[in-house]
Structure 1
Amino acid sequence: MLNNGDAEVKAEVEAELEALRRRGYLLFVLLKLRATGSISKLPYFLTLSILLFGSMEAITQLEPVYNIRSTFLVIFAVYFSYRISQWIYKAHRVRTRYYDIPSLPRHLIWGNIINAGERLKPSLKRHPDYGFEEIWRELGEPGCFMADLAPVEDRGFLIIAEPQYAEALVNATKEFKHSIPKSNNYHALKPVLGAESIITKEGAAWREMRKRFNPGFQPKYIHSLTGSILSKVEIFVGRLESLAESGKAFKLADYAQDLTADIIAQLTIAHDFNAQSTPEGQGAKSFAGFLTVSRRLSNMVYAVGQGVGWHTIDPIRPLKSFFYETIFQYKLTAIVKERISSTDIGSKSITQLAVSGLPLNKDLVRSCVDQVKSFLFAGQDTTATLIQWICYEMSKASHSEHHAEILSRLRQEHDEVFGRDPFSALKALSSLATAESESLLTSQLPFTRAFIKEALRLHPPASTVRVVPWETTSLSLPLPSHPVSIAGMQIYISQFLIHRNHNVWGPDAHLFNPSRWLDEDYVAALPTGAYRPFERGPRNCIGQELATLEGIAVLVSVARGFVFEKVGLTGRVPPGGEKPENNFSLRLTTSHGVMSLAIPKL
C-alpha cells in the first residue's frame, strides 16, 4: 500500500511522463511539418527550443544556472544577422547582373519590387500572367524580360515570351540531359504531390519514373479507355440537365472538378469515388472523406501571387495541412496497395500497367502513391479549368457575331457527324468499337479539335518554372545583340504571353479563332514551339492526350444541348451600370430551341 508521500511522488512521475509524451508527439509533428516544408525556419527553431527546454517556468528555473535567456537572445541575434546578411548578399548578386536583359527600371535597393509589384500585388486578385503582360507591353513586347524581385526572390526572374527562347531552355543539352531543373518553389507542393513525384523529380530518377508511366498515357491506350470517360461525361451532362430544369444556381468549377476527379481516379487506379453522384457531407465528400481532404489539402498550398501575409505565419495552417495530408496519405496508400496487388485483368489501370512485372514492396507502393497524387492534383484541376474556358468561349456567342459564327459551325459539324439530336454524340460514341470511336474523335471532328486547341492557346491551364544553377557555364540566352549568361536565374516560360504574341501568331493573336488551325499554310509558318499549352521538351505534360480527349468528349456533349451565357466580366456594361456578379446562366435546348433557364454561378 502506498502512503501519501509515495502517492504524490507517483502522481508527479506520471504527470512528467504524460508531459513528455505530449511533448514527444508535438516534436514529431513539428519535425514532420519542417520536413515537408509546411513551416518556415524561424517559427520552427523557436517552437523547437520551447519543446526542448520545456515551459517558460522551467526556463525561469534554469536561468540562474545556464543563462538561458541571454544565450537564446545571442543565438537569435546571430541567426537574425545571418539571415539579413544572406538577404543583402542575394540582393547584391542579382542587382549587379543581367543588365543586358530588358526590364523595368531597377532601383538600387528595391530592384523591381515596387514598379513590378504594383502589377503583381495580391490585392488585384488576378493571375500574375496579367501583370506580366502589362510589363511586357510597356517594354515593347520583347522576346523575354526580367523582374528583379530580390531579396523576396533570391534569383533573377526571367519571363519568356517568344518560342525560340523557350525551345533553347527546355530541350535537352549536354549539361542538362533532361532539361534544366524545376524551381525549388515546387517544394511547397510536397504535401500534395509527395516527395517522389514525377513533377518534381530530376535526372535519372525522373527518367525512370517517366519511362515506367509513359505506356499508360500513350494515345492508343488512352483511347482504349474512351468508354470509361464517356460514362463519366454522361453523368456530367445529366447533372447539367437537372440544374437547367430546376433553375438552381451552381459553381461550374465544382461540377467540372467532380467530373475530372472521377475520370482520373478511374483511369489511374481503377477506383470510382462517385464524385458526381455523392452528396456533400457523405462518403468521399464527408468531413474526412478522400475528396474532401484532398481538395482541402490543395487549398493549403500557397497560391501563386498570394504574396506575404498572415497566411505565411498562420500557426494553424500547417497543422491543418498535416492533418489533411495524413488522412489523404493513409486512404490513398490503402487504395493503391490494393490495386497494384490485384490480379483482376479486366480493370487494369494506368498504375497497374506501370508496375507490371515489378516486385511489390514498400518503396514501390510509396512511389506509386506519389504519382497518383500528382495525377490527381495536376489532371483534375487543369482539365476542369479547360472545361470552364470551353464553356466561357461558347457563352460569348450571345453578344459576339464572331463567336456566334464559331458556335454555329461547331454545331453544324456535330449535326453532320452525330445527327440532329443535340444529345446524340454520347450515344453514338458509346455504341462504337474503340477503333471506330478513336477514328471519329481524331479525324472526323477537325473543327472540334481546332476549338479545343484554340481554347488551350488563349487559356493555357498550367505553366512551369525552372531554375538555372549558379555554376552553369554552357547555357546562355541568344539575344539579338549577343548571348547573355542566365546562370542563377529562375525561368518562367509564360505560355500565356507566347500564345498571345503578335510576332508569332499575327495581328489577331488575341482573338479566339479556331479556324486558324485549319489553315495549313498558316500552321506551317508558325515558329517551332509556338504552341505549348502542355509545354515541350523531355518534360512535357504526360497527360496531354487524356486532357484533350476529355475536352473533346465534353464539347461534343454540351455544345448543342446547352446555351451558356456568362454574366459579369464579359466586357459588356450591365444595364444601369450596376456591378455585375461573376456567374453563368445556362439554358437547356433541344434542336437549338430554348426550353428552360437556370442561373448558375461560376
Structure 2
Amino acid sequence: MPNPLVLAALSLLAAYLYSKLRYKRFQQYADFPQLPPSLLLGHLRYMGDYLAQGPADRHPDGVFMQMNKDLGRPPLVLVDLRPMSRPLVLVGNHEIAEQISKATKLYPTSAPKNDLAYMEPIIGPKSILTLHGEEWKTLRKGFNPGFAPQYLMTLLPCILDKTMSFSEHLDSFARTGDDFSLVSLGMNLTFDIIGMVVMGEDLRAQHADPSSQSELINLYRKILSTYTEDEADSPWWLNPRIALKRRRLGKRINAVIKAIIHRRHSTKSDNARNILSLALKDTEALTTQLVDEACDQIKTFLLAGHDTTSITIAWIMYELSLTPHALKAVRAELDAIFGPATGVAEVRDRLLSPGGPDALNSMKYISAVIKETLRLHPPAGTARMSTSGAGFTVRAPGGQEYCLDGMIVYNCETLIQRDPEVYGDSAESFVPERWIGQDNESPGKNSIESSSQIPPSAWRPFERGPRNCIGQEFATIELRVIIAAIARRYDFTKVGLGEVKMGGNGLPVTADGDRFEVQSELYNTQQITAKPVDGMRMKVKMV
C-alpha cells in the first residue's frame, strides 16, 4: 500500500508544477498579442497547422507572416516555443524594431545578438556577428577602414574582372539553351569577388574545372552543404554527426585562412588592395589572439559577402523578368550612362575611367530596383536577446510597453518591410518607383508612395543602428556593377517553380497592367540565409 505521506508529497509537487506551468503559459506574457497557447505545447501546436497551409520546407518567415496576419497585424507577436527554445517575440513594426537596434544606456552597442552557436564552425567563436559591447566595438573599428566608400571604389577593377568571367558563363548558357541555378552561378562570382576583396586571394570559384578551384572554395562548399539539412540551426546533440562534420571542416578552413593571414602580414604593401592587408598594416607582430580574431572575421566576411549578394542578384533578375516596365527603365538608364554598347568590356572601360564613380552614382533607378528587391526579399535576418532581469522595455505605437527580458527578439524584416501601414496597397508588389520620390500612377495600380513617405526605419535589410552590416556599401556597389554588366546583354526566363504563365496566343499573361502572372509562387527556404527553393533555375538568351 502506498505511503500516504509520499502520495501527499507527490500531489503537492504535481499541484505546484501545474500552477507553475499555468503561470508560464497563460499569465507570464498575457499582455503580448499571441495565439491561444496550449498548456503543454504553448504555440508549438500551431506550427504543424501553419506548415500545412503551404510548402513544408518554406522559410519560417512565411509562417510568421501568416500568423501575424491572422492576429490582425499587431506590432509584435509572442510565439511560445518552450520547451524547444525560449519564447520568441516576432517584431513586425519598424518603430519597435528601431528601439531594439539602437544604442541605449542599458546596451550602448544595442541589444546583444542571439546565440549563433550552430554557426560557430563557419564564422568562428569571435565573429563580429556574435560579439557585443566593447569587444565588438574594437573589432568593428579595426575593420571599418576596409569598408570606407573611398576605399571600396578602388576595388572596381577586381569586381569588373570577375564579372566578365560571370558573363562568359552566361554566354555559354545562352548558346546551349540549358537551364542553370542563378544563385549557384552568382555564388561563384561573389565568392571570387569577396576572396580578392577581403584577402587578395583568387579562389577560382568560377573555374569550369572543380580540380582547378582553390582548396578554400571546396571546403566552403562542403561545410555550406551541411547547413541545407532540416536540422541546419538545431542544437548539436540532435544531429551529432553533422555537428562533427562541421567542426572538422571548420578546423581545415581555419588552417587555410591562418596561413593566408601570415602570408599577407609578411608581404605587407602600402598598395595592397584587400581588407586583410589594410587591417594588418600597422601590426608589427602577429599574436595567436590576433590571428584567431582575424580568422573569424575573414570567415564571417566570406560567408556574408558571397551569400546575400548572390541571392539578391538572383531575385533582381527574376523580378525584372516579370516586370517589363522596370526592365525597360533599367536598360534606358544604362543606355543614358554608357551609350548603346551592351558589351561587358565597354561597361568595364567606362567604370574604370575617371568618371566611373559618377557613373555608378548616376544609377538612380537601378538603386531603386536594388532597394525594392531587398525590401521584398531580404536574404538575412537578425535576432537579439536581453538577459533576464535587465529591464529592457520597448513601447508600441499605441503606447503599450513590453518587457523583453529573457526572450529571443526577432526583427522580422519580411514583416516590417511589407507593412501596409507604411507601404500601402502596394506593400506586396515590386514597385521600384516608390524609392525615387515619384508619386506615379501605373495602369491597374494604386498610387505609389514616394520615398519621403517611407520612414528610414521601415527599410532594414542591412539592419540599423550600431550593429548595421559593415559591408552594406560594398554590397550595393557590387550589385550596381553586376546589373550594369548584364541587364542589357541578357534576357532571363524562369523555369519550373515561379515561371511565367503563357496565354493561348503564346504571349505572357499580364496582371495589374504591367506584371506577368506566374504559374506557381516561388518561395524561400532556410539555408543559413533565405534562398529560393530551387536555386532560381533560369534560362538565358542574348538580347
TM-score (norm 2): 0.84
Give the 3 Å change call, closer, same or farther, for CA 524–335 of structure 1 in structure 2.
same
Offset of residue 318 of structure 1: 2.8
Which runs of 5 or more structure 2 residues have no equivalent in the other structure? 1-15, 440-449, 505-517, 523-533
Q: What is the deviation of 1:479?
A: 5.5
Q: 1:150 to 1:272 in 2, by over 3 A?
A: same
> Contact between 1:146 and 1:158, CA under 8 Å: does it hold in 2?
yes
RMSD of the TM alignment (CA)? 2.9
Which residue identity does 2:340 align to in structure 1? R
C-alpha displacement of 1:568 = 2.9
- How far the C-alpha of 1:192 sits from its partner, in A, is 0.5
Displacement of 1:278: 4.9
- The offset of 1:579, in angstroms, is 9.3
Residue 343 of structure 1, CA deviation: 2.3
Q: Distance in 2 between matches of 1:120 and 1:179?
A: 33
Question: Residue type matched to 1:141 in 2?
Answer: R
Cα distance in 2 for partners of 1:574, 1:306 equals 37
CA 486–435 in structure 1, closer or farther in 2 if over 3 Å, else same: farther
Residue 44 of structure 2: SS of its match in structure 1? coil
| Deviation sequence 1:18-56 (CA, Å, 0-9, x none) | xxxxxxxxxxxxxxxxxxxxxxxxxxxxxxxxxxxxxxx
Matches within 5 A, 1:36-55: none
For 1:129, the equivalent position in structure 2 comes to 61
1:106-117 to 2 correspondences below 5 Å = 106-117=37-48
Separation in 2 of the partners of 1:393 and 1:157?
32
Equivalent position of 2:120 in the other structure: 190
Residue 493 of structure 1 deviates from its aligned partner by 0.4
1:477–1:483 Cα contact (<8 Å) kept: yes
- Choose the corresponding residue for 2:277, options 352, 368, 376: 352
How far apart are 1:116 and its partner, in Å? 3.3
- Cα distance 1:574–1:320, how it changes in 2: closer, same or farther (>3 A)? farther
Give the 3 Å change call, closer, same or farther, for CA 587–298 of structure 1 in structure 2: closer
Larger Rg: 1
Matched, 1:392 2:318: yes
For the 8 Å contact 1:162–1:504, the answer to whether it is kept is no
3-state DSSP of counterpart to 1:564: strand
Whether 1:445 aligns to 2:375 is no
Relative distance call for 1:271 and 1:578 in structure 2 (3 A) is closer
Structure (1 or 2) with the greater helix fraction: 1
Deviation at 1:555, TM superposition (A): 0.9
Distance 1:520 1:361 in 2: 54
Output the CA distance in 1 between the equivalents of 2:230 and 2:466.
25
User: Is the 8 Å Cα contact of residues 457 and 531 (structure 1) preserved in structure 2?
Assistant: yes
**In 1, distance between residues paired with 2:238 and 2:351?**
55
Q: Does 1:547 align with 2:475?
A: yes
Structure 2 CA distance for aligned equivalents of residues 237 and 334 of structure 1: 32
User: What is the one-letter code of the residue matched to 1:356?
Assistant: K
CA offset digits 1:104-152 (Å, max 9, x no partner): 1111221110113432589711111111111111111111111111111
Quick one: distance in 2 between partners of 1:204 and 1:259?
35
Q: For residues 478-489 of structure 1, what are the structure 2 equivalents within 5 Å?
A: 478=396, 480-489=398-407
Match of 1:404 in 2: 324
Query: Could you list the per-position Cα deviations for residues 268-311 of structure 1 after superposition, in whole angstroms to 9, with x for gaps in the alignment?
Result: 11111111125124442xxxx211211221232476886879x9
Equivalent residues of 2:376, 2:414 under 8 A apart: yes
Q: Which one-letter code corresponds to 1:488 in the other structure?
A: G
**Equivalent position amino acid for 1:344 in 2:** S
Equivalent residue for 1:228? 158
Q: Which residue of the partner structure matches residue 100 of structure 1?
A: 31
Equivalent residue for 1:430, pick from 338, 346, 349 = 349
SS of residue paired to 2:492 = strand
Letter in 2 for 1:165: I
CA distance in 2, matches of 1:551, 1:341: 33
**Cα distance change, pair 131–87 in 1 and its aligned pair in 2 (3 A):** farther
Q: Distance in 2 between matches of 1:307 and 1:272?
A: 30
Matched position secondary structure for 1:347: coil
Shift of 1:344: 2.9
* Distance of 1:88 and 1:323 partners within structure 2: 46
**8 Å contact kept, 1:178–1:203:** yes
Deviation per CA, 1:199-235: give whole Å up to 9, x if none: 1111101000000001111111111211111111111
Q: Distance in 2 between matches of 1:588 and 1:476?
A: 51
1-side partners of 2:499 and 2:182: how far apart?
A: 20
Deviation at 1:435, TM superposition (A): 5.2
- Corresponding residue for residue 417 of structure 1: 337
2:324 counterpart letter in structure 1: A
Shift of 1:313: 3.7
Residues 258 and 275 in structure 1, CA contact (< 8 A), matched pair in contact too = yes
Residues 80 and 87, structure 2, Cα contact 8 Å, conserved in 1: yes
Pick from 148, 165, 170: which aligns with 1:218? 148
CA distance in 2, matches of 1:87, 1:319: 39
The answer for unaligned runs of 5 or more in structure 1 is 1-84, 397-402, 593-602
Deviations 1:408-432 (A, max 9, x none): 11111111211212225x5244345
Question: Percentage identity across aligned positions?
Answer: 32
Q: Which amino acid aligns with 1:223?
A: M
- State the partner residue of 2:388: 470
Equivalent residue for 1:293, pick from 208, 214, 219: 219
Match of 2:49 in 1: 118
What is residue 178 of structure 1 aligned with on the other side? 109
* C-alpha contact 2:25 2:39 (8 A) present in aligned 1: no
For the 8 Å contact 1:104–1:116, the answer to whether it is kept is: no
CA distance in 2 between partners of 1:183 and 1:303 (Å): 21
Inter-partner Cα distance in structure 1 for 2:46 and 2:208: 48
SS of match in other structure, 1:529: helix
Which residue among 224, 244, 255 is the counterpart of 1:319? 244
2:516 aligned with 1:586, yes or no? no
Instruction: Tell whether the 8 Å contact from 1:477 to 1:485 is kept in structure 2 after alignment.
Output: no
Q: Is 1:511 equivalent to 2:437 in the alignment?
A: no
Which of these residues, 452, 455, 467, is aligned with residue 524 of structure 1?
452
CA displacement at 1:488 relative to structure 2: 1.3
Higher relative CO (Cα under 8 Å, sequence separation at least 6) belongs to 2
1:511 positional shift: 0.8
User: How far did 1:347 drift?
Assistant: 2.5
Match in the other structure for 2:408: 490
Question: Deviation of residue 182 (structure 1)?
Answer: 0.8
Aligned residues: 491
Counterpart of 2:260 in structure 1 is 335
Q: 1:430 to 1:92 in 2, by over 3 A?
A: farther
Q: Which residue of 2 aligns with 1:165?
A: 96
Distance of aligned partners of 1:171 and 1:314 in 2 relative to their CA distance in 1, 3 Å threshold: closer
